[in-house]
Amino acid sequence: MKHYFFFFTVLISLCSVAQNKTIAAGEKLVYTASYNMSGLLTDIAQVKMETSEVKTSKSTLMRLKCTATTFKKWDNFFKIRDLYESYVNPKTLTPYLYKRDISEGGYYKFMQYKYNHKAKLVKSLKRKKRKDGKTWDENKTVKINASTKDLVSTLYHIRNLDIHKASPGDSQNFTILFDNEETTITIKYIGKETISTKIGSKECYKLAISVKDSDVLKGNNANLLWLTADANKIPVYAKFKIPVGNGELKIVSATGLKH
């Protein structure tokens, strides 16, 4: 399931990010994730993207929360309980804290990033489980570029970009921090396309992605995302191809939208 989120987060547009004019606290997007099993796309999990307001002693932040959960009938086959979240400035979506807590078929990993943007550093904590069930921690300080972001905050930054200014065929590189390593992503704007979804017929921006020096995504223009071509820029549909297969992610419902 980590490939679903990795796929989404690398789908960046082609312009610099501005103030947050798109995301509001209280938004909830629900998706069905499907995977190609024996030649048939099969619904295996539910993915949710939710935002909420979090007050601290010093400021008010926005929590960007993404979860993935297999449907019960698939739990015995490959149980997934994944949580990804980023705590950001609600005006700029600049991340301050990131957490990734994944449990997939008996495999467990926890990652945490604490940002120091002035120093261009991230304090990272990685926690894994040994075969005997005990956990071990690894602390590390990672140097990052000024524009590097985590998975979740990058995902939400997409929707504040001026995609309408891009021309079909335009492409650009971007950087995310994944497993303590900066990863370079190439994004290409394909154009507009109207598609049918469970929340209606939507005119969308169609984006294609590739990952530099990695085989996490396969094929030429085989990894695609459709964002609504309106003020909300909701991800409504995605197709991906990875080394172990291919799948899709389709929106089921969208509530609490800003516009």
pLDDT in tens, 45-85: 999 999 999 999 989 999 999 999 999 999 999 999 999 99
Do the domain assignments include residue 259? no
Q: Check pLDDT > 70 for residue 117.
A: yes
pTM above 0.85, yes or no: yes
Tokens 């103030």 sit on residue: 19
Torsion (CA) 241, 209, 31, 16 in degrees, nearest 10: 170
Do the domain assignments include residue 240? yes
| pLDDT of amino acid 1 | 52
| Domain housing 218 | 2-254
Q: Check pLDDT > 70 for residue 18.
A: no
Share of the chain above pLDDT 90, in %: 65
Do the domain assignments include residue 102? yes
Give the whole-angstrom CA distance, residue 211 versus residue 204: 23
Give the whole-angstrom CA distance, residue 216 versus residue 244: 9
User: 35: domain CATH number?
Assistant: 2.40.360
pLDDT in tens, 122-131: 999 999 987 7
Do the domain assignments include residue 220? yes
As a whole number, mean pLDDT of residues 87-108 equals: 94
Q: Are 219 and 241 in contact (CB under 8 A)?
A: yes
Do the domain assignments include residue 186? yes
Give the whole-angstrom CA distance, residue 48 versus residue 69: 9
Task: Specify the range with the lowest mean pLDDT, choosing from 39-48, 74-83, 238-247.
Answer: 238-247
Domain count across the chain? 1
Choose between 135 and 221: higher pLDDT. 135
As a whole number, mean pLDDT of residues 237-250 equals: 87
pLDDT in tens, 160-203: 888 899 999 988 777 889 999 998 877 788 999 999 999 999 99
Q: Check pLDDT > 70 for residue 258.
A: yes
Do the domain assignments include residue 111? yes
Do the domain assignments include residue 193? yes
Mean pLDDT, all residues of the chain = 88
Do the domain assignments include residue 62? yes
Q: Check pLDDT > 50 for residue 43.
A: yes
| pLDDT of amino acid 79 | 95
| pLDDT of amino acid 60 | 96
